[in-house]
Amino acid sequence: MEGAMSPIKEYVDRVAGFYERYSQYVRRNPAATAQLESTVRTLSYLIAGRFADSHEISELVYSASNLLVLFNDSILRKGLRCAFPVSLSQQRLLTWLSVVEYVEVFLEMGACKLWGEVGRWLVIGLIQIFKAVCRIVLLLRYKSGIQTSPPIIPLDRGADFSEDESSAEQQEDTCFVGQRSGRVIRSLGSAPSLQSQLWGTPSQKKKKKRRSSLMEKLNNQPTQLGLQETIAESVYIGRPLVHLLCLGFFGKQSWKPWLVSGVLEVSSFAVLNETKFQNRWERTEMRRRVFLLLYYLLRSPFYDKYSEEKILFLLKLLADHVPGIGLVARPLMDYLPTWQKIYFYNWG
């Protein structure tokens, strides 16, 4: 029995050692890690439309890049000792909700490929139910305020960590270690001036501002919602399920699902817009919801009857008459039909 367990233990130890080395690399090189994430994301754009099944593979790579960001951010938060000011159960719920949001488009594509339209809509329904239940639990039980997308906001590597790296390198270069005593002594040339000690240099102020921005994202409590605001946020959370039910009853070509979803979303936003949110990430989420209202111009049946011809005509006009725009406009024209077929691109 012990002989059978030893290979498993050796494999576990090897994985644990690799994880520890990778964690140390991420903590020491946050900028390089961000570059790796950007490279993986760019690769997903280059794959799309190149060969058969390229859209599915492209979405898989894109989902993997988002999961990589989520994983690396968790390592960086542990390194900074800036854990979420929430319970472990809430943190796990936020993590699983983030994972589902990152892979939902790929799951929809894979279900359609394997099981056809019936399997696709079944997966869509299960994902929306899971997301709605998780968000309602976060809202009502954990009092987490308005729900952001993604639930765990990614760290800004450039703003939150680049300054710390440069200051650490500068500190290493300007220190002297005594050969006999081993004491670390800062050189006179590296000592800050009296004015900077009293008032602080611009770089120090910038560093403090960046650090305070990071602390705000990690530590600030959400704005507490009253009864009216809580109902409005619950309406926003339940809107996708209501839309799916309307699609099932009235069909995809009916105007009723489009109208019901729009009324619910606008009503929720009208109530929440009156709230004075205390945190920057909450105000950013409200601006994102304003932008998402424009998606109704791209959602069927409005898109099929009114927007499609005008959007394609505008893109073709720009591609033909404005130099350089065609590099973006023509692939966008080709990708719009595919984008229209994916539920989570439109309504997720």
pLDDT at res. 188: 54
Closest CA to 50 of 61, 39, 34: 61
What is the tens place of the pLDDT at every residue in 286-327? 999 999 999 999 999 999 999 999 999 999 999 999 888 888
pLDDT(210) > 60: no
Closest CA to 166 of 126, 196, 210, 127: 210
What is the tens place of the pLDDT at every residue in 237-280? 999 999 999 999 999 899 999 999 999 999 999 999 988 898 98
Q: State what percent of residues in the chain have pLDDT above 90.
A: 57
Q: With bands split at pLDDT 50, 70 and 90, how would you rate the model's confidence at 10?
A: confident
Most confident by average pLDDT, 65-69, 157-161, 170-174, 332-336: 65-69
Mention every residue, 6+ apart, whose C-beta is less than 8 A from residue 121.
Answer: none
Which amino acid type is present at position 156? D
Q: Whole-angstrom Cα distance, residue 13 to residue 5? A: 12
